Amino acid sequence: MVNEKHAAFAQACWEMALQMCRVNLELITIMVRASVAPFSSNAPSVAATVAQAQKAVMTVLDKGFAPVHRRAV
């Protein structure tokens, strides 16, 4: 039982790290787009960027809790 918990924790850390890499790539893309054309009509608004950041944080947490939840249930 202890080994299963360790495996679930390791998998959770791995999933969270992968998701953070994806989120960082999205964030870099948004920042580059905003810096290249700051006054463009296609530039994302601050509210949209904040909403996307909040969604990204929740996705990272979901990815981290999923393996632990699967093992616990």
Q: What is the pLDDT of residues 8-34, one digit of tens each?
A: 888 888 888 888 898 889 888 877 877
Q: How many domains does the chain have?
A: 1
Tell me whether residue 70 is in a domain. yes
Quickly count: other Cβ atoms within 10 Å of residue 49's Cβ.
Answer: 15
Residue 43's pLDDT band, with cuts at 50, 70 and 90, is: low
Residue span of the structural domain in which 66 resides: 45-73
Using CA atoms, how far apart are residues 72 and 67, in angstroms rounded to an integer? 9
Tell me whether residue 62 is in a domain. yes
**DSSP H or E stretch at residue 27:** helix 2-36
